[in-house]
């Protein structure tokens, strides 16, 4: 049995760093610079806050533009991540009018939002934290608030109040759970006024607030009290087993293949049509740390999934329960039956929960999608879902912390989550939903594209356009240095989350299969397949080395076949259609002398693609071809084909590189240069299914009459 994993938090305050922070922001008051500094210290520790959770504030006297002194509350912007917060991440609010809100009995969402907005002192500042009124009502200069795991392990217990009081001591007050907003702000300040000697307040099932006149003191109180909670837990559960291993289950034989298959099936089972008619797909994120795996294979797994969120704030990321998958069968039909059955049951439960809540609360709300976000899968670990890759990762992080905290809470005593009715209030709190922001309407949002030959100029152009259209893109190549170069170009344009690079060999079916498994484990599956890897060779038939011919057949023809074939089982498991867009060549219709191996092998790839169009239509998978011509690379990434054939062409026509480009431009009907991005635009056109088209060939060649498709 594994040892108890401690959740001790470290006091990271450093005098020199704090002074440097003040120097770093010369245009903001030192008190605010220190607020930024200690906020970042809190944000760095995932045992205190996760991804935009928690909030902090400072109260400063500031002169207005007409020279009047005002008391301003600087409170963290809603959804801003404490780990990376800057002074601009805080919203400045005129404190006096906000304090008066304490006299109100009730304040609706709309009214609170309006008050926070009209009392901002800068038009451009972010939306203030939903817990801004707490910070406004408490009188202290600095207020820090976290949802620390150790605090929640103590509060989410049958005797939570006593446990907290015993662990944290007499200078901490404990407040039963209250809804965020005006009720919480009033509850906290009233608690403080009962005993002004207290240094912190713990809100059951939610988190902890510390406060002081110095940034350092408020931060250090946070660290101190969280560690007191931690050492109390550690003492009580030391030596106790956290899980009871299940005896009725054997973990999957091939974990990678099972994880890939599971991700594909779950992705398909959770894809759905949104109210606006668009299909919404998820990305998956798998976590399989040893203790998470252990939890997935334990008797406790079912309860972990069905005992709610640690703190209501998490509900917008994870929903209130997870799905437990007891085993992953080797057979796809069995796996699909299990996953689809579980997802349907989850949806029904969610619908029932929503209907019950709106009826008992006598309110009107629009139901959010009823799909689960977290699965705990026996032998595979945690699988999280998100509409964006970032969302999937945030959900996975929260899911991991939740599992660990619940295991320790279970060993400590009787874990008692917050009731559904309270969770619903937060889940359907308008201000909370705003944190998620509007979802991007990009045409390929939620889709996963794989582009072979990703290390070349056309691969870069295709990946670039797919990324711009909202897809997450996996580029693959056999040439690792070239692949890394293109990867870093794309990552700098679109972000590390959006692009992956995987090395595999298209001529080897097993290698392609492994590559597809790997990308499914990382992302969830495949929606758009772009066989683009290709090689060229210049020789007349008479001089053509048969072995060289085999090589071109292997990459250009068999490579296309391998990539199409390997994608079919994935399309079947997902059951959500898909697009294969094959990068062919104008030579298929208009071959050139001394270019036989290339033209013939590409024509073979073209033909197999047409056959695939016939066979895959019943899966909703479309197969279309693009015939580019004369696509040169740029200074960053050259075209491998032109690196090879360019010198010979230049020699035979007596041209320099620029002259050669010009020669091809002039040769076309439209007299324009064909760019890699043009090929990418054509891929996006097919992949976004703007027309009901399959088996078609689209030239991207500026007009070459001899190559008109026929
Ligand atoms: Zn909170």
> What's the gap in Å between 183 CA and the centre of ligand 1?
13
Span from the CA of 129 to the centroid of ligand 1 (angstroms): 10
As a whole number of angstroms, the distance between CA 534 and CA 703 comes to 22
pLDDT at 64: 87
Q: pTM for this structure?
A: 0.93
Local structure of residue 432 (DSSP, 8 states): H
Residues lower than pLDDT 50 in the chain: 1-4
pLDDT, one tens digit per residue, over 267-303 is 999 999 988 888 999 999 999 999 999 999 999 999 9
Give the H/E segment covering residue 23.
Answer: helix 15-24
Nearest Cα to Cα of residue 438 among 400, 381, 388, 371: 388
How many Å lie between the centroid of ligand 1 and the Cα of residue 146? Answer: 6
Question: Distance, CA 19 to ligand 1 centroid (Å)?
Answer: 29
The encoded tokens of residue 160 equal 């939570």
Report pLDDT for 654. 84
- Spatial separation of the C-alpha atoms in residues 666 and 432, rounded to whole Å: 58
205 in Cβ contact with 417 (< 8 Å): yes
Distance 147 CA to ligand 1 centre (A): 6
CA dist 696 and 700 (Å) reads 13
Which distant-in-sequence residues (6+ apart) come within 8 Å of 642 by Cβ? 631, 632, 633
pLDDT tens figures, 642-668: 777 788 778 888 888 888 888 888 889
The pLDDT of residue 435 is 62
- Identify how many contiguous H helices and E strands the chain contains and give both numbers: 26, 20
Ion ligand 1 neighbours (CB, 5 A) are 207
Query: What's the CA-to-centroid distance between 395 and ligand 1, angstroms?
Result: 17
Closest of 558, 492, 561, 485 to residue 529, by C-alpha: 561
* Cα distance between residue 198 and residue 137, in whole Å: 15
pLDDT in tens, 308-356: 999 999 999 999 999 999 999 999 999 999 999 999 999 999 999 999 9
Residue 236 CA, ligand 1 centroid: distance in Å:
26
- Predicted pLDDT at 437: 59
Q: What is the pLDDT of residue 100?
A: 96
d(CA 21, CA 544): 68
What distance in angstroms lies between residue 128's CA and the mean position of ligand 1's atoms? 13
């Amino acid at each position: 049995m594994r040892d108890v994993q401690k959740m001790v938090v470290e006091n990271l305050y450093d005098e020199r760093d704090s002074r440097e922070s003040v120097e770093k922001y010369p245009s903001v008051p030192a008190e605010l610079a220190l607020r930024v500094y200690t906020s970042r210290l809190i944000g760095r520790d995932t045992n205190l806050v996760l991804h935009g959770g928690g909030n902090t504030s400072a109260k400063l006297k500031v002169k207005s533009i007409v020279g009047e002194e005002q008391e301003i509350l600087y409170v963290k912007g809603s959804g801003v991540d404490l780990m990376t917060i800057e002074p601009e991440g805080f919203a400045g609010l005129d404190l006096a009018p906000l304090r008066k809100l304490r006299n109100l009995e009730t304040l609706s969402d709309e009214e609170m939002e309006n008050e926070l907005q009209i009392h901002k002192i800068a038009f451009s500042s972010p939306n203030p934290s939903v817990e801004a009124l707490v910070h406004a009502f408490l009188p202290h200069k600095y207020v820090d608030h976290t949802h620390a795991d150790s605090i929640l392990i103590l509060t989410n217990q049958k005797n939570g109040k006593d446990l907290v009081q015993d662990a944290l001591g007499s200078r901490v007050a404990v407040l039963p759970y209250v809804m965020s907003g005006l009720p919480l702000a009033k509850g906290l300040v009233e608690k403080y006024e009962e005993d002004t000697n207290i240094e912190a307040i713990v809100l059951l099932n939610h988190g902890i607030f510390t406060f002081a006149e110095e940034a350092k003191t408020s931060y250090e109180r946070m660290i101190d009290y969280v560690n007191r909670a931690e050492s109390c837990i550690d003492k009580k559960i030391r030596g106790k087993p956290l899980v009871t291993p299940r005896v009725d289950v054997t973990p999957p034989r091939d974990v990678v293949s099972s994880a890939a298959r599971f991700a594909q099936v779950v992705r398909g089972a959770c894809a759905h049509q949104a109210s606006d008619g668009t299909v919404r797909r998820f990305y998956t994120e798998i976590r399989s740390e040893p203790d998470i795996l252990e939890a997935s294979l334990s008797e406790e797994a079912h309860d972990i999934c069905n005992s709610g969120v640690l703190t209501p704030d998490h509900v917008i990321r994870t929903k209130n329960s997870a799905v437990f998958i007891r085993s992953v069968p080797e057979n796809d039909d069995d796996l699909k039956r299990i996953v689809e059955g579980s997802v349907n049951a989850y949806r029904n439960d969610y619908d029932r929960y929503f209907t019950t809540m709106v009826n008992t609360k006598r309110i009107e709300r629009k139901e959010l999608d009823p799909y689960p976000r977290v699965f705990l899968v026996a032998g595979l670990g945690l699988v999280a879902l998100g509409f964006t890759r970032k969302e999937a990762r945030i959900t996975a992080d929260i899911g991991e912390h939740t599992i660990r905290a619940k295991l320790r809470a279970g060993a400590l005593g009787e874990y008692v989550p917050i009731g559904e009715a309270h969770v619903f209030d937060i889940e359907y709190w308008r201000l909370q939903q705003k944190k998620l922001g509007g979802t991007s309407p990009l045409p390929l949002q939620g889709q996963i594209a794989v582009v072979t030959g990703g290390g070349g100029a056309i691969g870069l152009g295709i990946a670039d356009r797919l990324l711009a259209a909202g897809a997450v893109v996996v580029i693959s190549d056999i040439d690792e240095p070239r692949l890394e170069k293109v990867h870093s170009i794309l990552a700098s344009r679109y972000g590390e989350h959006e692009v992956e690079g995987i090395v595999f060999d298209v001529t080897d079916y097993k290698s392609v299969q492994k590559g597809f498994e790997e990308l499914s484990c990382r992302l969830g599956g495949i929606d758009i397949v772009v066989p683009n890897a290709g090689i060229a060779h210049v020789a007349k038939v008479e001089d053509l080395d048969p072995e060289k011919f085999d090589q071109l057949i292997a990459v250009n023809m068999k490579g296309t076949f391998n990539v199409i074939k390997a994608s079919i089982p994935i399309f079947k498991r997902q059951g959500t259609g898909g697009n294969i867009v094959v990068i062919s060549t104008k030579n298929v219709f208009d071959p050139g002398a001394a270019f036989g191996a290339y033209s013939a092998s590409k024509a073979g790839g073209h033909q197999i693609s047409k056959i695939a169009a016939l066979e895959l239509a019943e899966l909703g998978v479309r197969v279309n071809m693009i015939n580019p011509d004369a696509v040169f690379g740029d200074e960053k990434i050259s075209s491998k084909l032109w690196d090879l054939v360019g010198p010979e062409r230049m020699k035979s026509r007596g041209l320099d590189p620029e002259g050669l480009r010009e020669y091809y431009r002039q040769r076309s009907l439209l007299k324009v240069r064909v760019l890699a991005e043009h090929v990418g635009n054509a891929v996006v056109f097919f992949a976004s299914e703007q027309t009901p088209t399959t088996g078609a060939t689209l030239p991207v060649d500026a007009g070459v009459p001899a190559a008109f498709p026929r």
